Amino acid sequence: MELYFLGTNAGVPTLQRNVTSIGLRMLDERRALWLFDCGEGTQHQILSSPLKLSKLEKIFITHLHGDHVFGLPGLLSSRAYQGGTTPLTVYGPPGTERMIITTMELSQSRLNYDLNIVEHTGGVVFEDDSFVVEAALLEHRIDSYGYRVTEKDRPGSLDPAKLTAYGLKPGPLFGRLKRGETISLDSGQTLRPEDVLGAPKRGMVITILGDTRPCSNVQPLAQDADVLVHEATFMHDLAATAHEYYHSTSTEAAEAARAANVGQLILTHFSSRYKDEEQLQPLLEEAQSIFPNTRLADEHQLIPVIHREQSASLSD
């Protein structure tokens, strides 16, 4: 899996940064794209990225402030013209459906794919054989949610030596064992998957928070995550301002990452007062003094999601 930041600015776009949208690209897992938030200009950002709207499967909205949702109507309409024919589901807080349906009806937009809208107030918002997505309320001026994406553990790899010992050769039986099925051999012996599979492969955990100031739901959402994406609207010298406007500082984001024992912290949602990369460096350094494995979200850069244990070894 890979994260791709389509926008990292708070409130309004600047010449250097667009407003919030984050892509989660799943290559081996399901050949799909998920988006988290869709600020104005997101579809234009996608044109300059390796992401494809035709692969877009789900959009998770953290909250209904404009810098997180004003790009939705255009993106939903454009998807129909860019090869998107498969169903698309949008998850968001109450009011998401009214906003989308009203815009589409008034603009007489027509979609050639099934659009499903799921409003929620937290809890498990999606689950299938491969993933669970949970949401919890954060602390912002309007209802804002964080999402925890958990990839379910996958079966371990087949052990060639064990397969040979049982007289098995490559073929359909390999696939059945990999899928967790028990098979019968020509000898009459029963072979269970655990007889020839290695240890299960732990799935990834990715936590992406909406706008928030420090609150009690951050830690359970982020606990032991491989990657935590956390807003850092201000440096900590503006902690009072951050609190007043229901945002977090880079120090508070780092403290949350440390408390939750995450693998990597990615800071995003930067105030426009920080004009460029040079002015963002103090935010990064402030966070790294508390949680060393921190990076700034860079727009138009793929960030591979790696296991927490690997992150720890790389930062040592």
| Confidence class for position 12, pLDDT limits 50, 70, 90 | very high
pLDDT given for residue 315 in this prediction:
59
Q: 112-143, pLDDT tens digit by residue?
A: 999 999 999 999 999 998 999 999 999 999 99
Question: Does the annotation flag 68 for ligand binding?
Answer: yes
Kindly report the number of other CB atoms within 10 A of residue 139's CB atom. 17
Average model confidence (pLDDT) for the chain?
A: 92
| Confidence class for position 296, pLDDT limits 50, 70, 90 | very high
Check: CB of residue 22 under 8 Å from CB of residue 31. no
Mean per-residue pLDDT, 253-281: 96
pTM: 0.89
Active site includes 316?
no
pLDDT given for residue 229 in this prediction:
98
pLDDT given for residue 50 in this prediction:
93
Residue 316 confidence (pLDDT) above 70: no
Higher pLDDT, 65 or 195: 65
Question: Does the annotation flag 269 for ligand binding?
Answer: yes
Question: Does the annotation flag 120 for ligand binding?
Answer: no
Lowest mean pLDDT among 33-47, 151-165, 171-185: 171-185
Tell me the CA distances in angstroms from 278 to 17, 81, 100, 271, 303, one per residue in order: 14, 39, 38, 14, 21
Q: 101-111, pLDDT tens digit by residue?
A: 999 999 999 89
pLDDT given for residue 179 in this prediction:
72
Cα separation of 170 and 164, whole Å? 10
**Of 37, 67, 143, 226, catalytic:** 67
Question: Does the annotation flag 247 for ligand binding?
Answer: no
Does domain 2-154+201-313 fall under CATH 3.60.15.10? My reply is: yes
Q: What are phi and psi of 152, to 5 degrees?
A: -70, 150
Question: Does the annotation flag 230 for ligand binding?
Answer: no
Instruction: Work out the percent of the chain whose per-residue pLDDT is above 70.
Output: 98
Domain borders along the chain are 2-154+201-313, 160-195
Residue 313 confidence (pLDDT) above 70: no
Question: Does the annotation flag 65 for ligand binding?
Answer: yes
CB contact set of 273 (below 8 Å; sequence gap of 6+):
279
Question: Does the annotation flag 44 for ligand binding?
Answer: no
pLDDT given for residue 27 in this prediction:
76
Cα separation of 307 and 316, whole Å? 15
pLDDT given for residue 312 in this prediction:
66
| Confidence class for position 168, pLDDT limits 50, 70, 90 | confident
Closest to 204 in 3D by CA, of 126, 291, 306, 113: 306
Mean per-residue pLDDT, 84-102: 96
pLDDT given for residue 214 in this prediction:
98
Q: 194-217, pLDDT tens digit by residue?
A: 788 777 788 999 999 999 999 999
